[in-house]
Amino acid sequence: MQDIIVKDIAAHLGEEVRLQGWVRNIRSSGKLLFIIFRDGSGEVQAVAFKPDLGEEAFEEAKRLSLESSVIICGVPKEHQKLAGQYELSVTQVQAVQIAEEYPIGKKEHGPDFLLSNRHLWIRSPKQWAILRIRHTVYFAICEYLNDNNFFRFDSPILTPNACEGTTTLFELEYFDEGQAYLSQSGQLYLETGIMSLGRVYDFGPVFRAERSKTRKHLTEFWMMDAEAAYVEHAENMAIQEGLIRHVIRSVLARCDKELDILERDKDALKAADTPFKRMTHYEAIEYLRSKGSEIDHGSDLGAADEVMLTEGSPVPVFIEKWPKAIKAFYMKRDPENDDLVLGSDLIAPEGFGEIIGGSQREDDHDLLLGRMQAENMPIEDYQWYLDLRKYGSVPHSGFGIGLERLVTWMSGIHHIRETIPFPRMIYRIYP
Ligand code: 4AD
Ligand code: MG
């Protein structure tokens, strides 16, 4: 008898097969026992008929509880009522472990209870769907980059310096070397990589001691940073747009069932796969003010501003050319206006907010040094970074995508905490 997984069931109609997994649900009615069986790859209804199984085996099978682990043998057939679905006529049931009463029931649970039971919650259909979308988004990002000549270049997580300002650093003692920090972004290291490989990316966990208690912030999240030599600001945005549109198409093509489970509006996703809008920070502020906001031209955008800026837009919006005072030290000055930098934020539609931060980098040694001195940065710790501007400096650009922000948007869910197996937030580190 062949071992198969639920996903492949259609290829085995009429053959006796063996499946290994868990009981999602079980009910009996007279001589019939209905087991909703799941194995990670999918779900199928297994139907056991007492006369086929025999009295003793049937009673034994009835002992299965929610989430018990089980091995079921049976013959797959087309579902009697649901076209395109299958069911299994059970020939044998072997309980692997009878689960204790499962704490996550059918009644509504609050988020705190579910988060405390995250190790079990991930089995629920919606969580299963989100985790599979995460997998698909991750894969699609790598696929696009690989197809566009980017090489994977892993940046370190333990670092002697900050990438994104010093206010959100997690610090630790590093042996006799003193203070070290958990990386906030691999960007600065990626800039070294382009001088060797041309185009590079990293993909890994980054850390921010964000005091923000919002539905968009985690303290540990996954970032994909990409960096490319001889790419300037406009081309940098074009690469981001191509990548995000590839991700949208991949999710629509590969996660149809998952999107259904989440009741995601697929038309909204499809609509986002058309040319993105571009707006300068100045234009954005003017627009917000025209809508009654009192925001001034030197201000960063808050979550509510991002929502307003994308309202009615089916596609993401790039906000570019920011005041240098509110952006990171490494961004290149705008040759047309000394007060601005060639940075861009990409804001997702439907209220999902910023998903990418990127910029052209300052490639002139003295200008960069001046900027760092003005910000009182410890120059000795960044000597290696300044070196890049001494030995074959080139115009270059890059960007960083927050994986969980992108998965939140693709999944159409409310809170970022469901997009990573074990979310880390200021008020939660268990389990
Ligand atoms: O905009 P950020 O801070 O940009 C950088 O770190 C650059 N060094 C990236 C680069 O150019 N290589 O962060 C990039 C993205 C944001 O757009 C957002 O999607 C995500 O990372 N992000 C967070 N996601 C979850 N929780 C947080 N606390 C996040 N902070 C940023
Ligand atoms: Mg940002």
Q: CA torsion angle for 196, 197, 199, 203 (degrees, to 10)? A: -100
Rounded to the nearest angstrom, the distance between the alpha carbon of 83 and the centre of ligand 1 is 45
Fold of 2-97: OB fold (Dihydrolipoamide Acetyltransferase, E2P) (2.40.50)
Q: Tell me the ligand closest to 331's alpha carbon.
A: 1
On the question of pLDDT at 182 being above 90, the answer is yes
Across the range 35-51, mean pLDDT stands at: 97
Task: Check residue 163 and give its pLDDT.
Answer: 87
**Nearest atom (ligand 1) to Cα of 359:** 11
pLDDT value of residue 248: 99
Locate CATH 2.40.50.140 in the chain. 2-97
Nearest to residue 154, comparing CAs of 112, 111, 197, 124? 197
Name the band, by pLDDT with cuts 50, 70 and 90, for residue 212: confident
User: In this structure, are strands 151-152 and 199-207 parallel, antiparallel, or unpaired?
Assistant: parallel
* Residue 336 banded pLDDT, cuts 50, 70, 90: very high
Where in the chain is CATH 3.30.930.10? 118-419
DSSP assigned state of 428: B
User: Is the shortest distance between the CB of 405 and ligand 1 below 6 Å?
Assistant: yes
Q: Would the CB of 400 count as within 6 Å of ligand 1? A: yes
Instruction: Say how many Å lie between the CA of residue 357 and the centre of ligand 1.
Output: 6
The closest ligand to the CA of 348 turns out to be 1
pLDDT in tens, 374-424: 999 999 999 999 999 999 999 999 999 999 999 999 999 999 999 999 999
- From the CA of 219, the nearest ligand is 1
User: Is pLDDT of 106 > 80?
Assistant: no
Distance 28 CA to ligand 1 centre (A): 51
For 118-419, CATH number out of 3.50.50.60, 3.90.1200.10, 3.30.930.10, 3.30.530.20 equals 3.30.930.10
Dist. CA 10–CA 198, nearest whole Å? 46
* Whether the Cβ atoms of residue 424 and residue 219 lie closer than 8 Å to each other: yes
362: alpha, beta or left? (left if phi > 0; alpha if psi -120 to 50): beta
> pLDDT band at residue 180, thresholds of 50, 70 and 90?
very high
Per DSSP, what are the bridge partners of residue 278?
Answer: 318
Q: With contact defined as beta carbons under 8 Å apart, do 228 and 397 qualify?
A: yes
User: pLDDT confidence of 166, banded at 50, 70, 90?
Assistant: confident
Mean pLDDT of 1-21: 97
This model's pTM is above 0.95: yes
